[in-house]
Amino acid sequence: MKRFRSILAITAIAVVVGGLFSLNSSSVARADASASCIQYGAFGKSVAYIEAVKQGYFTDEGLSVCYNQVAGSQQQFNSLLSGQYNIVASTADNFANRYVNTSPDVEIVGASDKGASLDLIVNSANGINSIADLKGKSIAVDAPNSGFVFATEKILAENGLQPSDYSLQVIGGSLQRFQAISAGHTSTGAPVYATILAAPFVEEAHAVSTLKDVASFSTYVAHYQGTSIGVTDAYAQANPTIVTKFLTAMIRGSLYANNPQNQNVVIADIASTDNISTAVATNVYNDTENNHTSGENMAEMVSIPGLMNTIELRQSFNGFNTTVDPATLAVPSPNNLYNDQYWTQAFQNALQQQGQ
């Protein structure tokens, strides 16, 4: 409990230093919030999201949230930009890619994890037992220029493999890649040798006898902003109350999950939600709640150093169509990649509700 309170205090100080921002709640936003289900598209259910659902925090905010399992980042952002999804959870790299290269009307408003358990997994049944064995092979990815591609390429480069030494095998989102690497092949029979996975799929992979964890991304990049919560500018401006309430519930879920007194409940909730064993769920809990380097973001607060490193990583592999300054791009601002105004108000709301 002492650790929980100290983290809350540190986070509260950060908010005070940054200044509290009061949002204007429009009547249109209130009408939209109560009229329909908030369409949320994600690759997986974070522990904070699981507890926001299980503890009734979305209900407390008057929100109905419909979870959508995405097939990949391209489908996810097409659905966000078309209005099919209202809010999404995707890697910060995906938002940076769209913001700079194609769609400057997307923004990050919160964070889920710092690359939770982001590890390179190989299939030993296909003859792969080390990173060196991947030379001349294909690596399963979400999309060729987004997702965790650059994290994968960083690991491979640090171990002597350059992009010319391997090819990329586009399979789709985390769930799809976990299923393919576990089977050892795609639905068409093509062999799957390796992929990068994050929680909870990497913990599930550890329980598969033919799969081997050969590298942790955090070994090479200590501060990284992984899964982040985002919206379009237009949606946030039209619905500030919805965005703030959604984040409030997520922050409360994060605070609940990170309280050691709730450990057994949270592990049980992870197991039931993801349909995994208690042992695997315990590993997910330890990796997301007790690993402060690459686990879930405390109170859904974006790691600015992590965001800068995520941007710099993409730039180092020529992932932008123009040169950017990571420090400038990571500055919280309503007119920048990361808009912190909704999180700031949501955090204030969550602290007030936690104290009730």
* Contact of 199 with 288, CB cutoff 8 Å: yes
- Domains of the chain: residue spans and CATH: 2-114+224-354 (3.40.190.10), 119-219 (3.40.190.10)
Collect all residues with Cβ–Cβ distance below 8 Å to 294 and sequence separation of at least 6: 113, 114, 115, 116, 117, 118, 216, 217, 218, 224, 226, 287
- Phi (first) and psi of residue 38, to 5 degrees: -75, 120
Half-sphere exposure of 308 (CA within 13 A, CB side): 11
Instruction: Return the structure tokens found at 55.
Output: 């503890």
Region 151-167: what's the mean pLDDT? 97
Q: List, in sequence order, every residue forming a beta bridge with 296; answer none if it has no partner.
A: 113
pTM for this model (two decimals):
0.89
The answer, yes or no, to whether residue 181 has pLDDT greater than 60, is yes
Start-to-end C-alpha separation, the chain:
18
**pLDDT tens, position by position, 15-55:** 333 333 333 333 222 323 344 899 999 999 999 999 999 99
C-alpha to C-alpha distance for 208 and 202, rounded to whole angstroms: 10
**pLDDT tens, position by position, 85-144:** 999 999 999 999 999 999 899 999 999 999 988 999 999 999 999 999 999 999 999 999
Collect all residues with Cβ–Cβ distance below 8 Å to 170 and sequence separation of at least 6: 140, 141, 142, 143, 144
pLDDT at 356: 64
